[in-house]
Amino acid sequence: MKRLGLLDPASAQAVGFEWLTAALAPVSAYGERHASGLRPFSASEASLARSRAERIAAVAAGVDEARSDAARALVRELPDVAGAIARASMGEILDDVNFLELLRFCDVLVRMDGLLSGVYADPLAGQEVLDLARALAPGRSAGGGFYLTGALSGELERARERLDKAQRELDESSAQAAQQVARALGRDDVGDADEFIVMRAQLRGALPAGVRVVREAPTYLLCALEYDEATLVALERRDAAAQEAAAAEEGVRARLSSLVREHAAGLEGAARELGALDVTLAAARFTRRFACVPATISEEPVLSFARARFLPLAVELEQAGRAFTPLDLELDGVAVLTGPNMGGKSVCLQTCGFIALCAAFGLPVPAERATVGLFDEIAWLGIGSDRELGGLLSSFAKEVLRLREIFERAAPRLLVLIDEFGRTTTPLEGKALSVALIERLRERDARGMLATHIGGVASQAGARHFAVRGLRGIPERPPTSDLREALETLAGSMDYTIAEVGADTGGRADAIALTALLGMDRSFVDAAYQALSR
Amino acid sequence: MRVGKELLELALHCGARSLCVVGTGKNVGKTVAMRAAYEAACEQGLQVGLASAGLDGEAADQLGGHAKPRIELRAGTCFATARDVLPRSPASEILAISRLQTAAGALVYARAAERAHCELIGPPTASGLREVLEELTARAEIAIADGAIDRVAALAGGRDAIVVACGAAAATTMRQAVDDVSALVQRLGIARFDPDEPAVFIEGALTPLQTARFIGTGERGQIVVRDPTQVALRGRAAAKAFEALRIRCERPLRVIAVTIAAISPERSFEPDAFARAVAAATRLPAFDVYAGKRAA
């Protein structure tokens, strides 16, 4: 999948583009070619994005796991015939390995049509594919291989009969000569190797006729058999017959290659369709596995969802035996998100990005329902986005430069996900910068969410304010210092859901409680609480 | 004597499904031995699979340029070779296209429909050789392969027999040739370890440095490597190590015979004396494939 202008590398990493690409990986070279051409839909292609997602959802619903796996297994094992079709189109005569590849290609298309009947209206195996399959069929061997049989050409069959006869005559003649030598030398291995040793001590008299000395040594002679006149004549006849058979074989290959050339357009089309199917099956599998639904694609740049998940994290949590808390959100402008540390603010932003990303590629989204506009750019700003910039710049400077770049790109429909912008400067200036940023985004009619710990940003900017519900109570620190146990305790106490809140509240000092939970000593934590109360 | 028949019978007698010929060096008669066993198998009416662990069957030696013995495939023989060297004529039945790659393209399994000369190019890895032999034994009654020593690790612990080929081309004196083949046979023939006795298990290769340490500390327990190819010792170091230590392996190889080639373009040894010396040093049946003899 091509990111194009939708995501810069840092934003792609933050919202899980690589993860999504891997989750949607097709199994064949055909699918890889198709996937490499996929690009995000633009705002004017809402209906195309919607119909692709609906198509994928229909395949996910109509093709069960077993049929999907069977179809993918068929495609996975299929050799790539693109090279063979291209070479035939340029007038080359293909080889027998190519014909086996093409035969298997035709077979797989026909079998896929059977496997997926009722799901696809147009068959993959069109007339050109069926014509080629018919032409190659006489070459199909019992074990699923391919051989230029006589059934492909009467001339070939006759040439082979002549070759067999000539070979038999040669074998008889040479065997006769070898037997004579063997008898004369009194041994039975003459002819097993090109050369053989005759020990001088065992040689009575001269070497028999038909034996040539290759090298003489004091105790032995290295010898080779020499063809007699009759064998040489038989050899000439065999070679001539072999040439005739080779010409007949090449004639059949030329005919079959010419058929591939004539049908190249149809075969290439079928290969493209197969690639698209491979990609669709992968997307359908993704849809089933993660219970995705087609989003309503809005003409407006909006983002709202119910019970949405950021799948890269959801999968990681699942592997750790934990569950992702699905999120609900309605975003139609620029909003502020606050909440405790480790409460999932960044994950909420990532979920926004992931849902918008899936919709942009016409994929069903991991949510119960969603309404999504197609954005020209999804930009991530803040934690994790400054790695690619030069090491000489401070974190603050990198962040400002990224912001400037985002504005310079001037994407008409922009979704900006801002994770603690201005966190590295004073709270006062951080707040001022955040308010200015919200105002600038609003002027540009962008959509966005700004996650922050700084109080009062939403009210000063006049923005909607969402908050992670946070800790239900201060959890008891586990008796051990085991981090995993501490995180599980935290997860059990944290309400990761988000809700719109009316005003900026001071909030609880959850950070100090988390510090205790994460193993800092009691006196340190007490000192922090005392400092807070002063 | 039909040396090929003898080699084949030794292999079949010990229940091997494949016969792999390895050599002490280049031009020591690997192909001649392989061809002899192949011809014998065909004459017995066995369905045969042929393969090479590297490059085989080419008309001329890649280094020296002199003519090499060639393998003529008989009709019905399954074989594995690289796609780019598969002869167009006479056409073979193409059975399958492997995912294994060689320097000359994808590895292809085919069945000769007519007699044909074919260059055999095999997979570049030990695991690839294992895969090829499994594929061939699934299609044939016995697989015969020319194998590079560094790839026979894949045969350890399996139903495979190994024939070691030695010859005048790989040594300057008969003594050296005998020492070389003796060391190689001893190395490949390392016995399985005894699980009831103390053992030191070696991860990876047993190196000369490790060996020197074990000898220095007077190690009495078994020194166990995964398979005989993991013993990275040659010449005197190997001889000394085998004398001083109890080197064993987890997955042994099965060496059944030695073949000799007393002749080479550069030098030749007295065939009978060479065969006798090799048989005595290796304590294995030793065959001269050129003279059609077994050492007395």
**Chain B residues touching residue A167 (CB < 8 angstroms):** 114-115
Q: Are B268 and B252 in contact (CB under 8 A)?
A: no
pLDDT at B147 over 90: no
* Phi then psi dihedrals of residue A418, to 5 deg: -115, 115
A305: contact with B, CB 8 A cutoff: no
Q: What is the pLDDT of residues B110-126, one digit of tens each?
A: 999 998 888 888 888 88
> How many CB atoms within 10 Å of residue A216?
10
Enter the DSSP assignment of B234.
-
Q: Dump the DSSP string for B187-225.
A: HHTPPBP-TTS-EEEPSS-B-HHHHHHHHHTT--SEEEE
Q: Is A91 left (phi over 0), alpha (psi -120 to 50) or beta?
A: left
The whole-angstrom separation of Cα A394 and Cα A385 is: 13
Query: Helix axis angle, A264-289 relative to A82-89, nearest 10°?
Result: 160
Query: Helix axis angle, A96-115 relative to A127-136, nearest 10°?
Result: 130
Average pLDDT of the segment spanning B84-88: 92
Q: What are the CA-CA distances from residue A133 to residues A143, A220, A260, A263, B16 (Å)?
A: 17, 60, 10, 11, 41
Q: What is the dihedral of CA B7, B8, B12, B13, to 10 degrees?
A: -40
- Cβ distance A197 to B270 less than 8 Å, yes or no, reads no
- Cβ distance A192 to B35 less than 8 Å, yes or no, reads yes
Sign of CA pseudo-dihedral A201, A205, A208, A213: positive
Of residues A495 and A81, which shows the higher confidence score?
A: A81
pLDDT confidence band for A390 (50 / 70 / 90): low
Q: Dump the DSSP string for A139-166.
A: GB-TTS-B---GGG-HHHHHHHHHHHHH
Nearest to A22 by CA among A318, A317, A312: A312
Closest Cβ opposite residue A219 in set B95, B114, B270: B270
Residue B163, C-beta contacts closer than 8 angstroms, at least 6 positions apart = B7, B19, B20, B21, B22, B33, B37, B255, B256, B257, B258, B259
A160: contact with B, CB 8 A cutoff: yes
- Cβ distance A192 to B3 less than 8 Å, yes or no, reads yes
Q: Which two tokens stand for residue A133?
A: 């399959």
A162: contact with B, CB 8 A cutoff: no
Q: Which two tokens stand for residue B258?
A: 């030695």
Task: Say which CATH class A26-38+49-150+253-287 falls into.
Answer: mainly alpha
pLDDT at A41 over 70: yes
Task: Say which CATH class A291-507 falls into.
Answer: alpha beta
pLDDT at B58 over 60: no
Q: Which two tokens stand for residue A304?
A: 């709202």
Min Cα distance B271 → chain A (Å) is 8
Q: Which two tokens stand for residue B240?
A: 């000394």
Which domains are delineated in chain B?
3-183+254-294 (3.40.50), 190-249 (no CATH)
Residue A390, C-beta contacts closer than 8 angstroms, at least 6 positions apart = A398
Q: Are A329 and A466 in contact (CB under 8 A)?
A: yes
Q: Dump the DSSP string for B37-59.
A: HHHHHHHTT--EEEEESSEES-S
- Measured in residues, chain A has a length of 534
B114: contact with A, CB 8 A cutoff: yes
- Cβ distance A99 to B36 less than 8 Å, yes or no, reads no
Enter the DSSP assignment of A41.
P
**Chain A residues touching residue B57 (CB < 8 angstroms):** none
- pLDDT at A388 (0 to 100): 58
Nearest to B181 by CA among B282, B269, B270: B282
Ranges A100-104, A404-408, A501-505, B185-189: which has the least confidence? A501-505
B75: contact with A, CB 8 A cutoff: no
The whole-angstrom separation of Cα B104 and Cα B155 is: 24
Residue written as token pair 């030793």: B286
Nearest to B236 by CA among B266, B259, B215, B217: B215
Q: What is the pLDDT of residues A118-147, one digit of tens each?
A: 777 788 888 999 999 999 999 999 888 999
**Chain B residues touching residue A242 (CB < 8 angstroms):** 89-90
**Chain A residues touching residue B270 (CB < 8 angstroms):** 219-220
pLDDT confidence band for B199 (50 / 70 / 90): very high
**Chain B residues touching residue A79 (CB < 8 angstroms):** 97
pLDDT at A152 over 80: yes
Of residues A192 and B80, which shows the higher confidence score?
A: B80
Long-range pairs of A121-128 with CB within 8 A, sequence gap ≥ 24: A122/A273, A124/A270, A124/A273, A124/A274, A124/A277, A125/A270, A126/A266, A126/A269, A126/A270, A127/A266, A128/A263, A128/A265, A128/A266, A128/A267, A128/A270
A249: contact with B, CB 8 A cutoff: yes
Quote the ipTM score: 0.85
The whole-angstrom separation of Cα A36 and Cα A364 is: 19
Peptide bond into B90 cis (omega under 30): yes
The whole-angstrom separation of Cα A102 and Cα A253 is: 13
pLDDT at B70 over 70: no
The whole-angstrom separation of Cα A313 and Cα B43 is: 65
B3: contact with A, CB 8 A cutoff: yes
The whole-angstrom separation of Cα A415 and Cα A418 is: 10
Nearest residue of chain A to residue B32 (CA atoms): A193
Enter the DSSP assignment of B231.
B
**Chain A residues touching residue B97 (CB < 8 angstroms):** 79, 97, 100-101
- pLDDT at B64 (0 to 100): 47
The whole-angstrom separation of Cα B272 and Cα B281 is: 14
Which residue out of B93, B98, B102, B272 would a mutagenesis test of the A interface target, given it has the greatest number of A Cβ atoms within 10 Å? B93
Question: Residue ranges per domain, chain A?
Answer: 26-38+49-150+253-287, 154-239, 291-507
- pLDDT at A281 (0 to 100): 95
Q: What is the pLDDT of residues A324-380, one digit of tens each?
A: 999 999 998 999 999 888 888 999 999 999 999 999 999 999 999 999 999 999 999
Nearest to A283 by CA among A78, A7, A21: A21
Nearest to A382 by CA among A408, A338, A349: A349
Query: For all residues of chain A together, what is the average pLDDT?
Result: 89
Min Cα distance A195 → chain B (Å) is 7
Long-range pairs of A119-127 with CB within 8 A, sequence gap ≥ 24: A119/A58, A119/A59, A119/A62, A119/A63, A120/A277, A122/A273, A124/A270, A124/A273, A124/A274, A124/A277, A125/A270, A126/A266, A126/A269, A126/A270, A127/A266
Q: Cα–Cα–Cα angle for B77, B82, B83, nearest 5°?
A: 95
Ranges A23-32, A289-298, B46-55, B102-111: which has the least confidence? B46-55
Nearest residue of chain A to residue B105 (CA atoms): A97
> Could you tell me the pTM of the whole model?
0.83
Strand partners, A397: none
Sign of CA pseudo-dihedral B127, B131, B132, B133: positive
Q: What is the pLDDT of residues B223-246, one digit of tens each?
A: 999 988 888 887 778 888 999 999
Average pLDDT of the segment spanning A433-452: 94
* Phi then psi dihedrals of residue B201, to 5 deg: -95, 130
The residue type of B237 is: A
Q: Which two tokens stand for residue A386?
A: 């400054």
pLDDT at A64 over 60: yes
The whole-angstrom separation of Cα B279 and Cα A136 is: 55
Strand partners, B2: none
The whole-angstrom separation of Cα A343 and Cα A495 is: 8
